Amino acid sequence: MPVRVEKRRFSVHEYNRMAEVGILSEDDHVELIEGEILEMSPIGSRHAACVDRLNRLLNRLADLSAIVRVQSPILLNGNSEPEPDISLLRPRDDFYTGGHPTPDDVLLLIEIADTSVERDLEVKLPIYAQASIPETWLVDLPAETIEVHSRPDSGEYRETVRIKRGETVTSRTIPGLEVAADDILG
């Protein structure tokens, strides 16, 4: 007879409290997804370089129309606080000092995947769609493509466009935001 194992799920409050009291440290590369504390994939040099390229490009292109954040938490709901690689947020004078951004604050999320393509597609993108994040880009480094996911509805993105080298990624939610795929992929 199989043994049923119950999982203990955590709230965002409990998760943040674990960090406050030292159960989780800054060295723990984890995020809270649907109540589970999940270890994040190690960041290799190719992944880090892509984050740096995008950070530089998007800060220049977004100018004052968005705050660009790198690998910082987004409070999706009471049980999920992922850390996307890049977030473009609605501008605020306080730069979200009072609390992490919520779905209403997010213009665009970008996940960069070197070894985590499946996990990002099967775990992270669905929770972003459920939270009605208007647009998510998945930079698939092994395939050298960028997938633009938009029009969230009923927990999934209804539109997906795949961009290859030599093409341009155009944001569906930020007017005028266009980036050459080659500039993202390096």
pLDDT bin (cut points 50, 70, 90) of residue 97 is very high
Q: Which CATH class is domain 43-185?
A: alpha beta
Could you tell me how many residues make up the chain?
186
User: For 125-140, what is each residue's pLDDT tens digit?
Assistant: 999 999 999 999 999 9
pLDDT bin (cut points 50, 70, 90) of residue 62 is confident
Residues 6+ apart with CB under 8 A from 23: none
H-type alpha helices, the chain: 12-20, 45-62, 117-119, 125-130, 181-185
pLDDT bin (cut points 50, 70, 90) of residue 57 is very high
- pLDDT for res 108: 97
- pLDDT for res 41: 83
User: For 4-52, what is each residue's pLDDT tens digit?
Assistant: 888 889 999 999 999 999 999 888 889 999 999 999 888 899 999 999 9
- pLDDT for res 7: 84
Please give the average per-residue pLDDT across 69-83, as a whole number.
95
Backbone angles phi, psi at 80, to 5 degrees: -140, 125
- pLDDT for res 40: 87
Percent of the chain with pLDDT over 90: 80
